[in-house]
Structure 1
Amino acid sequence: MARRTVRLAIKDARTAKGLTQTQVAEAMEWSLSKVMRIESGEVTISQNDLRPLLTYLSVREKARVDELIQAAKASKQRRQWWDERRFASLVTTAMKQWFSYEFEATSIRIFCASYLPAFLQTPAFARSLLEFFEDELSKEEITARIETRTRRRQAIDQRKVKPQIFMLLDESVLYRGHGHPDVLRQQLSAALEVIREGWVTARIAPYEVVNPGIGHWEILYLGQEDLEHAVLYRENATRDEIIDDPASLTRHLKQWNKIWQAAHDEEKSVELIERRIGELVEKSARTKSTP
């Protein structure tokens, strides 16, 4: 959150002056990549770098400068589990940003076209999903990404106030094969347990409803529930990105609302999950009884 405050302030001030990132880099005698990484949130900016940059960008009001200096200091000091060295090359930059936003989010809207969202995934389900990409992901990357799912869930469970999560699932999620039927049954049972806790609300979009295609995306609200305080995480296979462009956020929210309204209501969606769990129990029993 602190890093986001600083990078948005820098970006807004640069835009207000009509400057390009290249012009800022040249004026500060920095590399262009350094400016780009600071504005994207990939790296933090030191207080010694921030002070002259703010002066150059005409941000001189003492209260505002002090606020941003303190935010820069906080972003350097506060380290979370995703900052551990062993995750450095095993998860993407966008993922680490996503984890930090999820850690602070007050509410989240999720769309999943093919699988349950990662923070709800059991280790067995996550492995069956990630091993599909074993030609792109190393064994170390797969293991690390499975661990991140567990760590993210633990972080949410430890929060005094959990985020309100609205989860929109395509009906195909209930039927997507993941090896043995017990894997999907256990996964759906785990998700149903969380839904019953009350902080996750789920709706199932039936096959008849048109959806915007494959992939997974989330809108995370950081404070007030408006797009000025939101970011978008978008993932497709092994590619992902963080977006805070207002036009993209607006477009995705409109899509989400359209499908949410067309989906089964919460009660019917829970019934569908329960029914599917029952079918998988029967299927598993038949599999075990087959010689």
Structure 2
Amino acid sequence: MTHQIDPSLNRRKLRLELRRAREHTNLSQREAAERVEWSQSKLIRIETGTVGVSVSDLRALLTLYGVTDPELAEELEQAARGSKGPSWWSGYHDVITPQFAQYLGYEGAADSLHTYHPIVVPGHLQTRAYAEALLTPRDLDESMFSRVVDLRMERQQRMFDDSGRPACAFVLDEAAVRRQVGGKGVLEEQLGFLLDLGSRPEVSVRVLPFEAGAHYSTLGSFVLLGFPDDDDLLYLEHAAGSMTGGEDLSLLARYQECFREITDRALDEPESADLISRVRQDLGVH
């Protein structure tokens, strides 16, 4: 299954190229906005990728920044034409926060994803039954419950649809592998799904065993997104969610080092698959 380029990816391309072009001219955002007679907030929204760009607005900026390469100009005009309209997750606007919507845009553009979860199987890897069991204690109304699960499943499908998705490395704490979310039958299916995904060449699933001890992120999950043309981004998963990139390099570096440390302590892929298989067999479902 293939998907059209999401508008958020076109907005991201414009964000990067237009910011780079402005900085090359040594113009501040305020100065650039004044030159084209815009509000500064409009330029900021364009440079953060939160809005699309019309072709006429794009041409005004390219003229201001002295961008004369016809191939680049045509490429950016195509991106501008594709920057309007809703993203795939817009239909779930009632069940996701603006912060998480912004994160999904970044996730769709990343070429690598590294994540650690100490408590449960992360959303990227959950079966529908596991996701439903995990959400049940939240006491959501029925329609919202179904939509949250549908969002999680569509996100997963897009990530693993074999159309050039990012290289993914997942480290799960042993507690996440053993916790019987939904009971033995649900966990048995979930562990089988982990084994299936972990067998793919672009996906790494590893387990951090109990004997690994404490580390920096013992109490919290996190995601590191990598990009070939931009700063890496850190997403800390908690009730409100939070993202940080180049504006907090020390925190980003701390979690990058944390993931390296966790990876060093984790079982390798074959050992992890063996552990998951043993836990699955011990459930005695079949």
- 1:109 and 1:275 map into 2 onto residues whose CA distance is 25
- The size of the alignment, in residue pairs, is 273
CA RMSD of aligned residues (A): 3.3
The one-letter code matched in structure 1 to 2:53 is: I
Could you tell me whether the CA contact under 8 Å between 2:11 and 2:50 is conserved in 1?
no
Match of 2:92 among 79, 87, 107: 87
Unpaired stretches in structure 2, ≥5 consecutive residues: 1-8
With structure 2 as the length reference, what TM-score do the two structures score?
0.77
Q: Which amino acid aligns with 2:88?
A: W
Residue 130 of structure 1 pairs with residue 130 of structure 2: no
1:146 equivalent to 2:154? Answer no
How much has 1:139 moved relative to structure 2?
A: 5.3
1:240 equivalent in structure 2 = 241
Worse overlay, 36-45 or 98-107 = 98-107
In structure 2, do the counterparts of structure 1 residues 124 and 99 end up closer, same or farther at CA, with 3 Å as the change threshold? Answer: same
Query: Hey, what does 1:288 align to over in structure 2?
Result: none
Q: 2:166 & 2:89 partners in 1: Cα distance?
A: 19
Give the 5 Å matches for 1:7-156. 7-15=15-23, 21=29, 24-25=32-33, 28-56=36-64, 58-63=65-70, 64-76=72-84, 81-83=88-90, 86-103=91-108, 105-134=110-139, 140-156=143-159
Q: In the alignment, which residue of structure 2 is the partner of 1:254?
A: 257
- Aligned AA for 1:159? D
| In 1, Cα distance between equivalents of 2:276 and 2:216 | 20
Aligned identity (percent) is: 30
Counterpart-to-counterpart distance in 1, 2:234 and 2:79? 23
Q: Structure 1's 82 and 173: CA in aligned 2 closer, same or farther, altered over 3 A?
A: same
Q: Distance in 2 between matches of 1:245 and 1:54?
A: 25
CA-to-partner distance for each residue in 1:213-259, whole Å, 9 max, x for gaps? 4443333345x5xxx45642514233234544282554432221121
Residue 18 and residue 149 in structure 1: after superposition, are their counterparts in 2 closer, same or farther (change >3 A)? same
- When normalised by structure 1's length, the TM-score is 0.76
Change in CA separation of 1:39 and 1:176 when aligned onto 2, cut-off 3 Å: farther
Secondary structure at 1:44 match in 2: coil
Task: Report the residue type matching 2:235 in the other structure.
Answer: R
